[in-house]
Amino acid sequence: MTSTQRLPILRRDGSGFVPGVDDFANEAYVALTTEAGHEVSVLATPHDLREFAIGHALSEGWWSGEGPLPLVEVEHHEDGYALRMSGASSWGPLRESRLIQPSCGGCGDAMASPPLGVRFAGQSALDSARLRSILREMKALQPMFEKTGGVHAAMLVSHDGHHVLREDIGRHTAVDKVIGAWLVDHDQQRPAALLLSGRCGWDLMAKAVRTGIQQVACVGAMSGQAAQLARKHGILVMGFAAGEHPQFVGPWPSAATKS
């Protein structure tokens, strides 16, 4: 299955409806399991699946991030994809199996504060003006959004300008993919900030906590629960970050950083 497909549609003009075609983002059933017994099913855009598996394992606390990257076997079946992970130095506690839909990364979760991860910890904050500039340029790096208008994007950036971006029909799945992609491509380097093309809810902030990401900027709003979780763990968050009047949560170091 490809990431997009062209389907027939109707468009309206001044005289009525006319037939045409348009591009749509695909979503597929993806089952992810580990040798330790973790299990989850997601609806996701069917690309970068190895990166999704690695990122999900870290961002959901299945794997601590210690040692080499887990191995991922990908099988394509008639009804979707099966991913199986093995080889982690240690696996975290098991959680209930569940189906995650594209719009709902935390379905079924109790919003208890997750443990603070360390894999991406230790980086100082990026200047807010720089974050705003990167977010405004981010859309030009989203080919699937340009084609379909129907996907989200997540980007990790470092102080020296390295960046990794991934797209997916699900907000949370895009974050998992970009985390996994960073680990695959820049494993010896740590990102400074996570950038989101939409809003930031509790589920995405929990992923930042579990991975040790200490700065988040989002084009849209943050939820109240996301803001509270960020304050508890000292994460710097910039909401409405591409606009002229962003909002700030967290221990921003100086007024100059907010300029």
Please name the residues in contact with 255: beta carbons below 8 A apart, sequence gap of 6 or more: none
Tokens standing for residue 149: 């208008």
Residue 177 pLDDT > 80:
yes
Q: Is residue 235 part of a domain?
A: yes
DSSP class of 14: T
DSSP conformation letters of 107-131: TT---PPPPPP-TT--PPPPPHHHH
pLDDT of residue 31: 96
Residue 101 pLDDT > 60:
no
The chain-wide mean pLDDT, for the chain, equals: 90
Structural domain range at position 217: 128-258
CA distance 156 to 196: 9
CA distance 194 to 239: 12
Tokens standing for residue 126: 């990026």
Span 32-81, pLDDT tens digits: 999 999 999 999 999 999 999 999 999 999 999 999 999 999 999 998 99
Q: What is the mean pLDDT of residues 151-166?
A: 95
Span 188-224, pLDDT tens digits: 789 999 999 999 999 999 999 999 999 999 999 999 9
Range of lowest pLDDT (12-16, 92-96, 198-202, 206-210): 92-96
Q: Is residue 103 part of a domain?
A: no
Domains identified in the chain, total number: 1
Return the residue matching tokens 């968050």.
Answer: 237
Q: Is residue 7 part of a domain?
A: no
pLDDT of residue 156: 97
Tokens standing for residue 55: 């990122």
pLDDT of residue 256: 44
The type of residue at 231 is R
DSSP class of 91: B
The domain that holds 162 is classified in CATH as 3.40.140.10
Residue 107 annotated among the catalytic residues of the structure: no
pLDDT of residue 250: 85
Q: Is residue 185 part of a domain?
A: yes
- Looking at per-residue pLDDT, the higher value among 103 and 35 belongs to 35
Q: Which of 104, 107, 200, 218 is catalytic?
A: 104
Q: Is residue 31 part of a domain?
A: no
pLDDT of residue 251: 77
pLDDT of residue 112: 75
Residue 100 pLDDT > 90:
no
pLDDT of residue 204: 97
Q: Is residue 160 part of a domain?
A: yes
Tokens standing for residue 225: 């629960």
Q: What's the gap between Cα 22 and its chain centre? A: 26
Q: What is the mean pLDDT of residues 83-102?
A: 79
pLDDT of residue 212: 96
DSSP conformation letters of 231-259: HHHT-EEEESTTSSS-EEES--S-TGGG-
Tokens standing for residue 135: 């977010």
Q: Is residue 96 part of a domain?
A: no
